[in-house]
Structure 1
Amino acid sequence: MAGDGIDAAFEDEVEPTVTIGEYLDGIEAEELEADLVLGGDDGNECTYGAGYLKRQAVFSCLTCVPDGVAGVCTACCLACHDGHEVVELWTKRNFRCDCGNSKFGGHLCKLSPEKDPENPANSYNQNFKGSYCTCSRPYPDPEAKEQVEMIQCCICEDWFHEDHIGLDSLEKIPKDEEGEPLYEEFICHQCSPVCYFLKLYPDMIWASSNQSVSEAVTADSNGMEGGSSGHVDTEKNENGAPVDHRSIENTSVEENCTKDIEASDKSILGDNSGGNCKIGVDINTTSADSEKIMPLFMSKGWRETLCKCGTCTNFYAQRGIAHLTDKEDSIEEYEKIAKQKREKKLEQQEGAEANFINSLDHVQKIEILSGINDMKNEFQSFMESFDPSKTVTSDDVQSIFKNLARKKQRLS
């Protein structure tokens, strides 16, 4: 029995192994994730000339601007701030690159030195100082025993720990059985009062793990007959997600909870034809319930249901949330564009490779194809003879290429 315990201990110490295919898939996944964050930006040109972009990846250099009141684009982060203390901010809306302006103490941008002293339309929150959430802690947090993922508010764009968003229980956050989010976007408890008008909309705009979509739509359609809208029951929606108290412990999540809002569901609302208001209520006459300021969890496609009549549009603009009706503002659209750029880039790379091969004569093509085949065989021989309990080192990789070089010398 003691021997079995020792064997088990050694098994725990063995590092996990991966195949070449798994390794390449991992690299591809990391490249895709990077492209999604950077919006497909290759980092070659400063984005300043493009003005205030609707959404782009932004970085804050605390070496150059310790107060955190400046942000730089991807290209400037790489070209002008290499080796500096840089905070990655993911994406920010309506932002223009600050690199080299008056906030950088005379240090000009290497890529685009001619810039205005400041970008007055830029906004800077505590993230630019490397602080996040209501607790104003850094991420990663050096004092935390375990790094907990945070979620971003689609209004203020700050990031929050789930246990710091004003809920008395994390179970109220819409998630599936595996802990994956069932909501498309999140509005923090600090920004939710600005969005209190959302309570005028049917329950289908809320993400919920406690009540099915069909139940929510049925319940709300009964309360919106004739195209008019009454106030949604406060208790039912106090967290931005309808709660069925009778079955909260036993209800299961239906698959369509995260699907787009169906056209049949959208018909519950009026349309904007002729300038009509979808919700049939003067949005300016509503008021927030200051006693129940809670975060809101929104379902997929919720922005598309927002009314765009003149009254509602002016209301959004006055409160600084006009971006909610701009499809290009959403992270979903940003990542969609990034994927399209990535696919186009890969197609161009494949085309360049094909053009290169086609430009060679017959002998050169045979030599290249033969070299690729030799490398493939060498890697295969290495993997067949390699002890899977050991880790592949740089010396191992170098030995593969040395063997290839020796074989080539013998054949030449």
Structure 2
Amino acid sequence: MAANEGTHKRPLEEDPIVSLADVLEENEELENEACAVLGGSDSDKCSYSNGYVKRQALYACNTCTPKGGQPAGICLACSYKCHEGHELFELYTKRNFRCDCGNSKFNDLQCKFFSEKEKTNYDNKYNDNFFGLYCTCKRPYPDPEDETPDEMIQCVVCEDWFHGRHLGTVLPENVEYQEMVCPSCMKRCSFLWAYATHVAVTKAADAGNCGSLTKVEDGIVDVCAIQENGDSHNQKTMACAMKCEETGAKHNEPSTSCKAEKKPEAASGDEASCSVKEEAAAENTGCKLQQLKKRDRVQRDSATYWPHNWRNKLCTCQSCMNLYKELEISFLLDEFDTVLAYENKGKNDEETHGERCDPLMTALSNMNRIQQVELIYEYNDLKSELKDYLKRFADEGKVVTSEDIQRFFEELQSKKRRRVDGMQYFCS
């Protein structure tokens, strides 16, 4: 290419065309997201006095606590007042966290809200996010070296963020999911696979996802590892279906995946006795988990996607409650732990706060009657004129240019001059 060929730009061909409707929609989404994330946190008061807050917006300061040091998190108010001008990592929200600003991790920096804080918040949990690294690839976001378009999804258990392509499964299409559990957390909390087969948006036994299935407890490997290669894939899928049908007919129980079953006669007396006792215990205690385990107990090395209110289906018997406590995931039973609950609270608080602190009403309260009438007139005039002017572009799907905006204000100013020039003043 010649050196001067790239200097002449053809905007109609190279610039992306975006309609006003798209711009307005995107702007509304950004405003809603900001209200959702920040609305539930106080921007004027450090959250330290509230202890370990159930959920709040958090930041990490790369200026004060860079990689190689101790991880630390600060609340929204401290990010504004104590770390103004610093390089901050936005962590979205974290659960059960107490603000670290000004404690022993920050050397000489003191919190401007609370000068005296405990040296360490021992119950805080940290991960690589506090150093600006995310996912299994441990890369920053946005990543200047990664040109692959991909969305980041937060795991509801560990609260790390993951690239969609690194979760071991395809994101559900045309299906709304509320929460995601990453592969590592699914492995640590393997009992969730019993629920995933029946509750998750993408069922654990769906043959079309990816990876081979594995029995959770007895270690039997699935006979049909899924392969992405035409005829071989189809043949194996058909063989799996035939195998499943055979297995279901022989044992008179539902089978949603292909797996090599153990022969009853191969089991030892102790194993058989243990199995009978487990089934009897499930019937007697009414444990949902044990009942599900009797049916399909498969797992993958992948993430799972869950619908709204899936947590309500988790068993709450004493045995399961002890299991949640041991795995430190009792928060799954708290309906207000979800990000959705936090976002809804933020939106509601923002709406209430907005009504209480409307800037127009505040300005009007400090004006005399003549000024109030003039301001209201000007405000309504601008609002009405701008709405009608932009609506024409939105209806026609046209792009609003800077010249269009300039023309609007020139016309508005012209109308204002005509209105003022036409006024007559009389002395009584």
TM-score where L is the length of structure 2: 0.66
Paired residue for 1:122? 124
Number of aligned residue pairs:
345
Paired residue for 2:271? none
> What amino acid is aligned across from residue 142 of structure 1 in structure 2?
P
Q: How does 1:49-88 map to 2 (within 5 A)?
A: 49-66=49-66, 67=69, 69-88=71-90
Q: How does 1:342-381 map to 2 (within 5 A)?
A: 342-349=350-357, 363-376=370-383, 379=386
Q: How does 1:104-253 map to 2 (within 5 A)?
A: 104-165=106-167, 167=168, 172-177=169-174, 182-201=176-195, 203-208=197-202, 235=222, 245=237
Q: Is the 8 A contact 1:60 1:86 kept in 2?
A: yes
Paired residue for 1:277? 287
Q: Is the 8 A contact 1:183 1:297 kept in 2?
A: yes
> What amino acid is aligned across from residue 34 of structure 2 in structure 1?
A
Q: Is the 8 A contact 1:134 1:164 kept in 2?
A: yes
Q: Distance in 2 between matches of 1:144 and 1:45?
A: 37
1:15–1:108 CA distance, 2 compared to 1 (3 A): same
Larger gyration radius, structure 1 or structure 2: 2
> How far off is 1:318 after superposition?
1.0
Q: How well do the aligned residues superpose, as a CA RMSD in angstroms?
A: 4.5
Corresponding residue SS for 1:196: coil
Q: Is the 8 A contact 1:62 1:68 kept in 2?
A: no
> How far off is 1:129 after superposition?
0.8
Paired residue for 2:31? 31
Deviation per residue, 1:213-266 (Å, 9 max, x gap)? xxxxxxxxxxxxxxxxx99x9859999xxxx95699xxxxxxxxxxxxxxxxxx
> What amino acid is aligned across from residue 199 of structure 1 in structure 2?
W
> How far off is 1:77 after superposition?
0.8
Q: Distance in 1 between matches of 2:80 and 2:129?
A: 20
1:358–1:23 CA distance, 2 compared to 1 (3 A): farther
Deviation per residue, 1:328-350 (Å, 9 max, x gap)? 21112222222221232233246
Q: Distance in 2 between matches of 1:123 and 1:51?
A: 14
> How far off is 1:211 after superposition?
8.6
Q: Distance in 2 between matches of 1:353 and 1:142?
A: 42
Q: Distance in 1 between matches of 2:90 and 2:408?
A: 33
> What amino acid is aligned across from residue 345 of structure 1 in structure 2?
H
Ranges in structure 2 where 5+ consecutive residues have no aligned partner: 1-8, 207-216, 227-235, 241-281
One of 93, 97, 119 as aligned partner of 1:95: 97
Corresponding residue SS for 1:372: helix
> What amino acid is aligned across from residue 41 of structure 1 in structure 2?
S
Q: Distance in 1 between matches of 2:400 and 2:375?
A: 34
Paired residue for 1:48? 48
Q: Distance in 2 between matches of 1:28 and 1:380?
A: 15
Q: Distance in 2 between matches of 1:118 and 1:298?
A: 35
> What amino acid is aligned across from residue 342 of structure 1 in structure 2?
E
Deviation per residue, 1:302-325 (Å, 9 max, x gap)? 111111222211111111111111
Deviation per residue, 1:178-205 (Å, 9 max, x gap)? xxx6432222121212221123447331
1:182–1:64 CA distance, 2 compared to 1 (3 A): same
Paired residue for 1:329? 337
1:15–1:399 CA distance, 2 compared to 1 (3 A): farther
Corresponding residue SS for 1:151: strand
> How far off is 1:106 after superposition?
1.6
Deviation per residue, 1:250-299 (Å, 9 max, x gap)? xxxxxxxxxxxxxxxxxxxxxx9x9853334699x9xx98x954323323
Corresponding residue SS for 1:48: helix
Q: Is the 8 A contact 2:70 2:105 kept in 1?
A: no
Q: Is the 8 A contact 2:186 2:192 kept in 1?
A: no
1:359–1:39 CA distance, 2 compared to 1 (3 A): closer
Q: Distance in 1 between matches of 2:410 and 2:113?
A: 41
1:174–1:25 CA distance, 2 compared to 1 (3 A): closer
Which has the higher mean CA deviation after the structures are superposed, 399-408 or 369-378?
399-408
Ranges in structure 1 where 5+ consecutive residues have no aligned partner: 1-7, 213-229, 249-271
1:201–1:402 CA distance, 2 compared to 1 (3 A): closer
1:388–1:326 CA distance, 2 compared to 1 (3 A): closer
Deviation per residue, 1:64-83 (Å, 9 max, x gap)? 01135100011111111122
TM-score where L is the length of structure 1: 0.68
Q: Distance in 2 between matches of 1:378 and 1:307?
A: 58
